[in-house]
A = this chain, B = another copy of it.
């Protein structure tokens, strides 16, 4: 959407029987995904709707050993209150890994441990967004970020996402005409689209942003799950003082431990620490200690290679099924990593209709419109490949192809155009 028509929800208050809720509650979308996941909890349904890692790839045995060790050796300590910033050796591990993986210099003082990376988004909204402030986000953009930021009542300026990344001309135009506090993006294997920004595009975006005071919020939940392309530099390399990175152990270790982290310059970190302390004092210390013990004792690189190989196979299987069975008029992305493929149906073909008809065949998909803060995307949908076996992918995609052919066309082979 253009700068002329910023999106702003009504300021109407929700009035309860006895009390009035804060106006921000009227602006926060209920998670459509959450509602869909309730529908698809039935185990007979093959679900491509969620965003769960493959549970078979959680190293339960390694985590069990790590838990036993920390509780045996330091039980009284790991169960007590701890520091707001998080366990220092874990923060040092994360800093060392940035150096090793990306050649990026990060000090442990620039890292704070959060309850999963979703909490990073809440903390960032809390310290940066006043009601009415302008922020930018990819279009389509990650629903969890839309929800987290909406609670701080910003004006959203979505930036069109092309196959090589967000549109730099559109970003320049928005930044030129509004004091934009932050631009939120997922440069590696984006959620929902699966797109990875090219190196060229990263440099172009950095060059646009360098002239401004806008912060780039780099959500890097999927950077370690890059199974097909080269490893890309962090935006912090181009915008060292202007980038906040969010990271997660959910995709490489285990989601149930709720461990993520945020990387920010010391000045910003001071505010994040205050916000974190007011939010919940500190993150689960037992989990932090278990995670560090695991990372110290096990070969995390070998474990991540295993996840990458499995996800590549699952992704290839899904893409093959699309190419062989979907109508030609359907386009789709070819992810280099992450957990999602993004489908664009022909104009006028509704993904909500596909959702409803597929559900009758015991297959669940996620319609794409909730990822468009300004409406639109009615013919798009997100498919998750990480949480299904090849067998389920073949069966489920076969059924889905029939539904789509029935609703959107009759031809048999689809186009691998990345998205218009």
Contact = CB atoms under 8 A, between A and B. Distances in A.
Given A258-B285, A279-B118, A20 B79 contact: no
Nearest to A17: B267
A414 to B, nearest CB: 31
B278 A258 contact: no
A200 interface: no
Contacts of A215: 18-19
A241 interface: yes
A256 B78 CA distance: 6
Contacts of A23: 130
A76 B64 contact: no
The size class of the interface chain A forms with chain B is 35 or more
Contact of A80 (B17, B128, B255): B255
B28 A279 contact: no
A22 interface: yes
Contacts of A402: none
Interface stretch (A66-74, A101-109, A355-363): A66-74
Contact of A279 (B14, B52, B122, B127): B122
B280 A118 contact: yes
A81 to B, nearest CB: 4
Interface in A1-57: 14, 16-25, 28, 30-31, 34, 52-53, 55-56
A242 interface: yes
Interface in A376-409: none
A257 interface: yes
A75 interface: yes
Contact of A181 (B19, B128, B250, B281): B19
Interface stretch (A146-154, A191-199, A324-332, A334-342): A146-154
Number of copies: 2
Contacts of A126: 22, 24, 151
Contact of A256 (B21, B28, B275, B285): B285
A173 interface: no
Contacts of A413: none
B63 A281 contact: no
A257 B79 contact: yes
A116 interface: yes
Interface of A: 14, 16-25, 28, 30-31, 34, 52-53, 55-56, 58, 60-61, 63-64, 67-68, 71-72, 75-82, 84, 114-116, 118-119, 122, 126-131, 133, 144, 147-148, 150-152, 181, 213-215, 241-242, 250, 254-258, 267-268, 271, 274-275, 277-287
12 contacts: A14-B271, A21-B128, A28-B275, A34-B84, A55-B76, A56-B76, A81-B255, A118-B280, A119-B280, A144-B281, A257-B285, A257-B286
Given A18-B241, A22-B128, A131-B131, 7 more contacts: A17-B241, A17-B267, A22-B127, A24-B130, A55-B77, A56-B76, A115-B280
